[in-house]
Chains A and B, each alone.
Chain A
Amino acid sequence: METLYIEPTEFTPKVIFDPENSTFDISGFSRPENVIGFYKPILKWMEDYNDIVLSNNTQFEKSILTVNIKMTYFNSASSKFLLDILLEFMKFLSKGNKVEINWYYEEGDDEILESGEEISDMLGYQFNFIPF
């Protein structure tokens, strides 16, 4: 499966989902004018990736999936979609994959840290919180 690569813009984050290395990075700023138009293709990619991993038993089967979220800001509509993306990753747990979620926040930025803690709480899954 091809890597998903989305260049960052003034309003949208950088996205690199690399299935070969099982790393999934979202970083930067998220305030898309068309939030559905931006995030739906990412969710579609996740669904396809999920189908391939779960139905084809490929080499990804038992790999550790590393998700790196390194946001400087995201609006409330984006938070809904970040949650949806992370929910997709939760589906892999039941299939024996390990999922590691690294939530980066700028040192002293309690808002981004707290947002991560809330999403972690909603998922019922522990994140690694890493200042930078």
Chain B
Amino acid sequence: MLKVSERNNILTHIGQLSYEEIGFLLNRMSAYIDKQGFNITVKKKIYAAMVESLENIYKHQDIIQTDPEHLPRFSLFIEDQIISLFASNSLRVEKISPLMQKLDKVNALDRHGLKDLYKFTILSGNVSPKGGAGLGIINIAKVSENKINYTFEKINDKFSYFTINVLISLNVK
């Protein structure tokens, strides 16, 4: 279980996501960042990590209609000069292995390696019918400059509850 400790919650969303809802959450985050006076690069990093995380939920959420305990969930916290993003959604178990491989791959790379992987993927990959270009997780890792923490919690034989935790430092030059 990823730890959600005492920290200031900036925003939380629980429930199925619509495209408009993503925009609403982004606007709320932007308003908060502007109010705090964080620099523009930090804002863009948080923005990018949020968009890719929320769009991943939007595109890949396998909603279990009878299970209100495992709805999509998104939260943003601030603690000790770190922005901490949590994004969760249920998904079919057959998606776990390729997703885990991808996460482990990006977590094993340094900044230079991530740039190369991004370049390789964008030049060789096609865009899926859902509009994904296979770049989202790489981009999250690039902007956060930290490893992506993740968990898969078993719900039943068919579904698992997937959570990522992304950390972004506020101390960017």
Contacts and interface: CB of A to CB of B under 8 A. Distances in A.
B119 to A, nearest CB: 6
Interface residues of A, number: 25
Interface string B50-75: 01100100000000000000000000
Contacts of A73: 44, 47-48, 51
Interface string A99-121: 00000001011111000001001
Interface string A63-105: 0000000000101110111010000000000000000000000
Tier of interface size on chain B:
20 to 34
Nearest to A35: B131
B44 A80 contact: no
Contacts of B136: 76-77
A86 B122 CA distance: 13
B15 interface: no
Contact of B131 (A10, A77, A83, A118): A77
Interface of A: 10-11, 31-36, 73, 75-77, 79-81, 83, 106, 108-112, 118, 121-122
Interface of B: 19, 23, 39-41, 44-45, 47-48, 51-52, 55, 115, 118-119, 122-123, 125, 127, 129, 131-133, 135-136, 138-139, 143, 172
